[in-house]
């Protein structure tokens, strides 16, 4: 973070670019620095069963969680962000729902009802679900795609059957290389490619990879994948197939559009440890694990605080499942840094709460920064490693407040 960037953050904190007619709706929940069009179109709106979230598009529904709901380690179901690629999203009757498990690398294909899926030994994992495109709206220059701010992320306790147990029952053969996933949603037009994804067989057999039917102790909300979705802890949410209906073990790399044509990063540019080798080439490779990231939930940008009064800075940090081991906080625009106090450890895939107290001693604008790092030495960065889809945006950004 250089001085120019810190000052840019300070200038933006006045909402100078906000279109006047929606200033009221935008102020206080839209982050600064997004493409100008976002300030004209984004609104607070509620989908059925959900609180008011930041609506970025309606068809397909893309709704971001306001930072107000990201103050605690567990994100409430009705405030959890919603992301879809395709606009036809059927309401599923769980009594009719079936999950097909087959493919050429399954010796004993089967079809499961919810009662049968629930009969597998249940497992739980607390895990962050983050869109690969989270914070894409802050790419400079701006890039195409849903212009997410910081709220395309949430954390929940997921309960379900282990994918490895279900694949075991379907007679997974040794020659399987990938597991292909499909969900019940589909395109409005036939020529739009259906949203299908694959994961490497090793990741599918990981103990933490679940077919979840519960989220924070309740059935999944419709818009988060009812009645069942895949949970791939540590990996970005593109693989977390919602309304899952088909699982296929295959012997050749899956060549669907959403694998070959999207969710890819330049090969070798990011410090990730896990690679999806059967889908990688010399130019690009699928995005896999999340890199360390954090957010400042409180104070809110633009908050007015008193000089000389103690102030608690509070936020969340997460990574790809190695475990957050420190969050550094600066309350002077990056000149000096202190170690934040970490909250309870809810497991290596979970949000980690953190806090830091300080007493503002000068009047004027103050830029607060947070930088998270993990046990394998990965850390947030000062400058985005530019890539055409704006993935892996874990740039340290200022939250600017006013001391009076
Ligand atoms: N069936 C289905 N599953 C899906 C998607 C989708 O479009 N359809 N989008 C994926 C992507 S890219 C993301 S970021 C997450 C979002 O999960 P959420 O809507 O529960 O927050 O769902 C994933 N699973
Ligand atoms: Mo996503």
Shared domain check, 269 and 314: no
Shared domain check, 187 and 326: no
CA distance linking residue 384 with residue 365, whole number of Å: 25
CA of 261 to the centre of ligand 2 (A): 14
pLDDT band at 6 (very low <50, low <70, confident <90, very high): very low
The CB of 77 under 6 Å from ligand 1? The reply is no
For 225, other C-beta atoms within 10 Å of its C-beta total 25
Residues facing residue 399 across a β-bridge? 368
For 47, other C-beta atoms within 10 Å of its C-beta total 17
Selection from 149, 113, 117, 116 nearest residue 131 by Cα: 149
Q: Which domain holds residue 200?
A: 99-286
CA of 361 to the centre of ligand 1 (A): 45
Ligand 1: atom nearest CA of 130 is 14
User: What predicted TM-score, i.e. pTM, was given to this entire model?
Assistant: 0.93
| Closest ligand by atom to 132 CA | 2
| Closest ligand by atom to 389 CA | 2
Shared domain check, 128 and 61: no
Residues facing residue 403 across a β-bridge? 305, 364
CA distance linking residue 144 with residue 355, whole number of Å: 35
The CB of 212 under 6 Å from ligand 1? The reply is no
Q: What is the CATH number of the domain that holds 332?
A: 2.60.40.650
Run of H or E including 102: strand 99-102
Shared domain check, 248 and 110: yes
3-state SS class at 277: helix
Residue 3 has pLDDT above 50, yes or no: no
The CB of 195 under 6 Å from ligand 1? The reply is yes
CA of 312 to the centre of ligand 1 (A): 34
Is residue 68 one of the residues assigned to a domain?
yes
Domain boundary among 286, 303, 323: 286
Is residue 176 one of the residues assigned to a domain?
yes
Is residue 83 one of the residues assigned to a domain?
no
Please report the pLDDT score of residue 28 as a whole number.
Answer: 56
Residues facing residue 379 across a β-bridge? 373
Is residue 89 one of the residues assigned to a domain?
no
Helix residue ranges per DSSP H, 170-318: 201-204, 257-260
Please report the pLDDT score of residue 36 as a whole number.
Answer: 83
Is residue 189 one of the residues assigned to a domain?
yes
Strands 229-231 and 218-219: unpaired
Ligand 1: atom nearest CA of 82 is 19
Q: Average pLDDT over the chain, rounded to whole?
A: 92
Shared domain check, 357 and 389: yes
Q: Provide the token pair at 242.
A: 């919602």
Strands 304-305 and 399-403: parallel
The CB of 241 under 6 Å from ligand 1? The reply is yes
DSSP designation for 118:
H
Selection from 269, 282, 355 nearest residue 316 by Cα: 355
The CB of 238 under 6 Å from ligand 1? The reply is yes
Residue 11 has pLDDT above 60, yes or no: no
Is residue 393 one of the residues assigned to a domain?
yes
Q: Provide the token pair at 128.
A: 């962050």
Selection from 222, 123, 126 nearest residue 165 by Cα: 123
Number of independent structural domains in the chain: 3
3-state SS class at 117: helix
Residues facing residue 285 across a β-bridge? 265
CA of 221 to the centre of ligand 2 (A): 17
What is the C-alpha R_g of the chain?
A: 21
Please report the pLDDT score of residue 17 as a whole number.
Answer: 36
Model pLDDT for residues 159-197, shown as the tens digit of each residue: 999 999 999 999 999 999 999 999 999 988 878 899 999
Run of H or E including 11: helix 3-12
Model pLDDT for residues 379-397, shown as the tens digit of each residue: 999 999 999 999 999 999 9
Share of the chain above pLDDT 70, in %: 93
């Amino acid at each position: 973070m250089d001085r120019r960037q810190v000052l840019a953050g300070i200038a933006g904190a006045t909402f100078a670019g906000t279109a006047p007619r929606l200033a009221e709706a935008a102020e206080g929940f839209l982050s600064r620095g997004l493409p100008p069009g976002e300030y004209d179109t984004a609104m607070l709106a509620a989908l059925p069963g959900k609180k008011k979230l930041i609506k970025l598009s309606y068809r397909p529904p893309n709704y971001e969680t306001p930072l107000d709901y990201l103050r605690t380690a567990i994100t409430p179901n009705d405030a959890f962000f919603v992301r879809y690629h395709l606009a036809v999203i059927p309401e599923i009757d769980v009594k009719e729902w079936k999950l097909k498990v087959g493919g050429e690398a399954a010796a004993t294909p089967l079809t499961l009802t919810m009662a049968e899926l629930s009969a597998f030994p249940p497992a739980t994992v607390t895990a962050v679900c983050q869109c690969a495109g989270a914070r894409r709206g802050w790419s400079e220059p701006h890039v195409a795609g849903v212009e997410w701010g910081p709220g395309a992320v949430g954390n929940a306790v997921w309960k379900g059957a282990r994918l490895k147990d279900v694949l075991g029952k379907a007679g997974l053969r040794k020659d399987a290389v990938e597991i292909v996933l499909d969900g019940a949603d589909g395109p409005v037009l036939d020529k739009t490619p259906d949203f299908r994804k694959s994961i490497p067989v090793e990741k599918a057999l990981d103990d933490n990879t679940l077919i979840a039917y519960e989220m924070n102790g309740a059935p999944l909300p419709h818009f988060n994948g009812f009645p069942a979705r895949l949970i791939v802890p540590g990996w970005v949410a593109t693989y977390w197939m919602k309304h899952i209906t088909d699982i296929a073990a295959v012997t050749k790399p899956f060549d669907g559009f959403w694998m070959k044509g999207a969710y890819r990063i330049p090969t070798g540019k990011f410090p990730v440890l896990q690679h999806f080798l059967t889908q990688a080439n010399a130019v690009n490779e699928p995005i896999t694990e999340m890199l360390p990231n954090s957010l400042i939930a409180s104070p809110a940008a633009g908050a007015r605080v008193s000089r000389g009064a103690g102030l608690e800075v509070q936020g969340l940090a997460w990574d790809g499942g190695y475990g957050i081991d420190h969050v550094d906080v600066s309350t002077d625009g990056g000149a000096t840094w202190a170690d934040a106090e970490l909250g309870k450890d809810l497991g290596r895939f979970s949000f980690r709460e953190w806090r830091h107290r300080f007493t503002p001693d000068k009047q004027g604008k103050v830029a607060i920064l947070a930088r998270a790092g993990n046990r394998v030495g990965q850390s947030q960065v000062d400058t985005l490693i530019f890539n055409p889809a704006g993935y892996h945006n874990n740039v340290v950004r200022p939250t600017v407040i006013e001391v009076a």
